[in-house]
A and B are shown apart, each in its own frame.
Chain A
Amino acid sequence: MMLDRMTAPVRRRMAWLVAGNVALLLVIFSCLLPGDTISGAVSRLGTVLADTPRNIAPEMLAAIGLTAIIWTGAIDLSIGSVLAVGGAVFAMGYSHGAHPAICFAGCLLAAGGLVACNGLLVRWLRIPALIVTLAGLAAYRGLALVLVNVGVPGFDGNLTVPEEIYRVPGRDWAAWILLAAAGSAVAAELFFRMPRLWLAHGSSSAACRLHGLDLSRLAVSAFLFGGFYLGLGGVLYVSNQQTIDPARMALGFELSVIAAVVLGGTNIFGGEGSFLGTLLGVLFLYLARQTLLYALDDVHARQAFEGALILGVIGFDCVLHRGEHRMEELK
């Protein structure tokens, strides 16, 4: 069936993640229990779950986009800064009284455009995606600051957007948008050809060339897809905030997204993975963060724990692939 097209390690990883997510839910539940009845705790858990789509949507959509990029053997470290630019464009539109739809459209186009730009630069300059997007990580943050200072009259560090209408996509529609977008991605990998070609590119670009596939088109299309999903995630992110602060928004975003993608079973070097696995991975990291919230009172320790968790996840994944590397290397 469809699961046959996923490799065995990916399937195993998804099974672990399902178990892990259930386990985390139980842990959260047990943290909610003390000082409450069972039905009370259940309803509180329900609230947590109900809040999840709107909180998880930006990261989940960005992760889906990044998954496609990583499949082709590339990477994008600039996605946090790209979101900042999206936020800046949104702020520019808002401060000039543009219709909400225009503001959000601007955000989406800006984010999508920058990621597409990354893809084109990698292809054109023949520099590793690592470097181009590392530069983007810095440059786009600066661009966001410049845009917001130039385009928003009287900008003083952040912009408050109190009107309820701007919350609509991020709060009210988030679950539906997420369902539609994530559903489309999973449907694409189940029913369409392009995701398989992205995986082929990451697996062996030489084989793709021999079969007559256009490598540039494959590589850039993955970035276009990633840009669109990141843009969509950006719209939901911006819509979920009361204030837009381009200097600080989405700092460190890229790392938790990369960790979620790798956790979901996608090989960081490309060629292997699944959108469904990515979704499970994002959910796991989200629930882990929530668990930390309930289990740990110390606000200051949160980032440290999250960093440790991410390192643990990535380190564990790399150790699994270690054996094959070493032998191949010596040949």
Chain B
Amino acid sequence: MSIDPDSRNGDALLELSGVCRSFGGVEALQPTTLSVVSGEILGLVGENGAGKSTLIRLVSGVLRPDAGEMAWRGRPVTLDSPRRAIDLGIATIHQELEYCGHLTVAENMLLGERWPRGRGGWIDWSAMQAEARGRLERAGCDVAVDVEFARLSAVEKQLVAIATSLSRDAGLLILDEPTASLAAPDARRLIDHLKTIRESGVAIIYVSHRLDEVLELSTRVAVLRDGELVHLADAAELDGPGLVHEMIGRPVQQAFPRTRHQPDVDHEKVVLRVEDLAREGMFEQVSFQVRGGEVVGLAGLVGAGRSELARAIYGLYGVDSGTMELLGRPWRPRSPWDALQAGLVYLPEERKRHGLVADHGLSPSLAIGIRDRLTRWGLVCRTEERRRVAGMISAYDIRCSGPDQLVGTLSGGNQQKALLARWLERDPRVLVLDEPTRGVDVGAKAEIHSVIDRLAAAGHGVLLISSDLPEVVGMSDRVLVMSRGTLVAELSGESQTERDVLQAAAGLVPGPAGETA
């Protein structure tokens, strides 16, 4: 763990000293001291949960730090709102862009400003378009200004957003995973564009998992790990494997529960088989299988198409081509209920949006998963419900004040355990778990891991989708890696390491690797 001294002599634009932030007792960002100088591109890398997004939100004014100071162009500032940061010159281009889709590009670019007027007081649209065109040109961007904004491609939207920020005299541009959903040629276009911007003296913080891009673009690279800034060096001194090492470098190998035996390849039946599954715009040519008693990890970056694949297997989406087999029989689900009846459950990645209702009680939220088993002639048997709910609460150790507690008031870990309990109570044969420990504290995380291990030991098949590298590597018997909609690698045994997974996911391994099983 080394922190290189900041030896650059450019004008310091943004200086953070001792800035830190916690959420509910968990320190998301430890006291951090960092400065960004004009004309540089600072790459910011780190795993999910390492503190990158917390740092970004602090710098863009969405969050206030618990302690520490920030200075902009030498003067101390308090960023108490996103608007304040924008006014100062700190522009953030988020992954989910906010824009007015039905307005033209020119109108979006000049939205908050005065629009050029003609002599009678009316808007001079051609002058406005010329102004917008000029700004785009100065930013090196080549996009038509008179088209509906929603009709631009993803990369064009980003380019326009960048140009808009630059035209507002942004001194610092923060790009959060800009190429996550971009295809290779579009990502190339964006990267080349960023290089030209650098020459104008604007500083850029480039947050990304695509380590190859980070190394290509950045002047310096900062590595966050577990909320701490562990490495800061010139990009020239670093390479991919080195970065990965810094990102992961764990002194002690975390122990993951492994009570089950390695599944006997010949005798354990295949519970889920997927062949050449494709859905336009989401994923293509996906083929794999999961056996009973096996935990198959599915790793990849944001936008790789893992959740979409899972939803297709679960019956929420249809597929364009390919076949599926569940428990040995052809599987063509028309709805999630088909899946639940057939013994397949899916734990969605966003428990608040896709799983729970905040102001419902714990008991109904748990019971809804087994509602068909609690009902006779349309009526729910209350005593049976109470018994099963009590069983679930104790079996999964859901810390609550009682079965009537509102779900929204439970901690993240307990909410996740409740959601897990809801589906596990059905005793499914196949489980698809999407980020089961995201946003969950260490204790609950360990409990969920032992649950997964017990399930596999009992002969169920588990498809574990996770961006948590230690988890996906430590919990799985095999790891499939997806990138940009296709399976690029299958790792097991010796090659099943965090480094190999990250390299495959981040595109450092060119093209799909052959199956190694």
Query: Which residues of chain A have a CB within 8 Å of any CB of chain B?
Result: 2, 4-5, 7-8, 191-193, 196, 199-200, 203-204, 206-213, 271-272, 330
Contacts and interface: CB of A to CB of B under 8 A. Distances in A.
A207 B148 contact: no
B104 A4 contact: yes
Contact of A196 (B82, B103, B148): B103
A7 B104 CA distance: 9
A209 B146 CA distance: 23
A271 B101 contact: yes
B112 A211 contact: yes
Overall SS of chain B's interface: loop
B123 A193 contact: yes
B100 interface: yes
Nearest to A212: B112
B100 A208 contact: yes
Overall SS of chain A's interface: helix
With a 10 A CB-CB cut-off, give which of B125, B146, B311 has the most chain A CB atoms.
B125
Contacts of A204: 98-101
Contact of B111 (A7, A192, A211, A271): A211
The 8 closest A-B pairs by CB, nearest first: A211-B112, A191-B122, A203-B100, A207-B98, A212-B112, A211-B111, A200-B100, A206-B98
Contact of B102 (A203, A208, A213): A203
A196 B107 contact: yes
Contacts of B103: 5, 196, 199-200, 203
B288 interface: no
A271 B316 CA distance: 29
Nearest to A204: B100
B99 A207 contact: yes
B123 A192 contact: yes
B154 to A, nearest CB: 15
Nearest to B168: A211
A294 B112 CA distance: 52
B316 A330 contact: yes
A325 B372 CA distance: 29
Interface of B: 82-83, 86, 98-104, 107-108, 111-112, 115, 122-123, 125, 146, 148, 311, 316-317
Contacts of A208: 100, 111
A2 B275 CA distance: 51
B148 A200 contact: no
B39 to A, nearest CB: 26
Contacts of A271: 100-102
B101 A213 contact: no
B146 A4 contact: yes
Contacts of A203: 100-103
A7 to B, nearest CB: 5
A5 B112 CA distance: 18
Given A200-B107, A330-B316, A191 B100 contact: no
B311 A330 contact: yes
Given A204-B99, A206-B98, A207-B99, A5 B111 contact: no
A183 B123 CA distance: 17
20 contacts: A2-B125, A5-B104, A191-B123, A192-B122, A199-B100, A199-B102, A199-B103, A200-B107, A200-B111, A203-B101, A204-B98, A204-B99, A206-B98, A208-B100, A210-B82, A210-B83, A210-B98, A211-B112, A271-B101, A330-B311
A203 B108 CA distance: 11
A294 to B, nearest CB: 38
Contacts of A5: 103-104, 107, 125
A213 B123 contact: no
A212 B146 CA distance: 23
Contacts of B100: 199-200, 203-204, 207-208, 271
A276 to B, nearest CB: 16
Contacts of B316: 330
A191 B125 CA distance: 8
B83 A212 contact: yes
Contacts of A206: 98
A211 B82 CA distance: 10
A213 B115 CA distance: 13
A203 B311 CA distance: 29
Contacts of B311: 330
A129 B316 CA distance: 33
Contacts of B108: 207
A196 B115 CA distance: 11
A207 B311 CA distance: 30
With a 10 A CB-CB cut-off, give which of B102, B108, B115, B316 has the most chain A CB atoms.
B102
Contacts of B146: 4
Contacts of A330: 311, 316-317
B86 A210 contact: yes
B102 A7 contact: yes
A213 B98 contact: no
B18 to A, nearest CB: 29
Contacts of A7: 102, 148
Contacts of A200: 100, 103, 107, 111
A12 to B, nearest CB: 13
Contacts of B115: 193
B357 to A, nearest CB: 15
Nearest to B311: A330
A207 B111 contact: yes
B203 to A, nearest CB: 21
A189 B465 CA distance: 50
Contacts of A193: 115, 123
A29 B98 CA distance: 50
Given A210-B83, A211-B111, A330-B316, A8 B148 contact: yes
Contacts of B148: 7-8
Contact of A213 (B111, B122, B125): B111
Nearest to A213: B112
Contacts of B317: 330
Contacts of A209: 83
A330 B308 CA distance: 10
B397 to A, nearest CB: 31
B418 to A, nearest CB: 22
Nearest to B147: A4
